[in-house]
Amino acid sequence: MLRSMRLPIVGVRQIKLPVSDLARSARWYSDLFDLELAAEFYEESAVRGVVLADHDAGFVIGLREREYCASQPVLDGFDVCAFAVSTPEQMTTVTARCDELGVVHGEIEDRGEFGVAMDVPDPDGTVLRFVAGPHTGPAGSFFGLAFGAGPPEFYDQPRLSF
């Protein structure tokens, strides 16, 4: 559906994640991404959330104690976001940083025309994906992936109506 006016969005500003141990997760995210503490949220006699910022890249990661999140979500094994890495060759910088910090990470996976990707689980098992390569085809293009026994299969017509 073609709309008359597009929203003036220029990027993603914040990712906010539920965590089981705020101090441990704040340290982990700060170390991995070189983030600085930009804000914290104090309620019921304790700090329950923080905002960690990368002012150069222009993004923040918010962390909140799971116990104080609506519905107390558990995202173990779920890839909530993907961070863009400039080139496939630079993915080795991500693995080197993980190795330096003793952070568990997956292998760099070749995704064919979609570049390369690597998953890094945080201390709660929430998966952060790092990707170098295009995120979609050109504007107006579409692809679908069908998962089943064997490798995923591509299809070219949407199956979801909305």
Domain ranges for the chain, please list them: 11-72, 75-137
Q: List pLDDT tens digits, range 79-114.
A: 999 999 999 999 999 999 999 999 999 999 998 878
- What residues contact 139, with CB distance under 8 A and at least 6 apart? none
CATH T-level topology, domain 75-137: 2,3-Dihydroxybiphenyl 1,2-Dioxygenase; domain 1 (3.10.180)
CA neighbours closer than 13 Å in the CB half-sphere of residue 121: 10
As a CATH number, domain 11-72 is 3.30.720.120
Angstrom distance (rounded) from CA 51 to CA 60: 6
Q: For residue 130, what pLDDT band results from cuts at 50, 70 and 90?
A: very high
Q: List pLDDT tens digits, range 43-78.
A: 999 999 999 999 998 899 999 999 999 999 999 999
Angstrom distance (rounded) from CA 131 to CA 108: 9
Structure token pair of residue 95: 């693995």
> Same topology for domains 11-72 and 75-137, yes or no?
no
Amino acid identity at 36: E
Rounded to two decimals, the pTM is: 0.85
Q: For residue 140, what pLDDT band results from cuts at 50, 70 and 90?
A: confident
Angstrom distance (rounded) from CA 68 to CA 48: 7
Angstrom distance (rounded) from CA 79 to CA 99: 20
Q: For residue 151, what pLDDT band results from cuts at 50, 70 and 90?
A: confident
> Which pLDDT value is given to residue 18?
97
Least confident of 80-84, 126-130, 133-137: 133-137
Cβ–Cβ contacts within 10 Å for residue 48, how many?
Answer: 17
- Find out whether 48 and 22 touch, Cβ atoms under 8 Å: yes
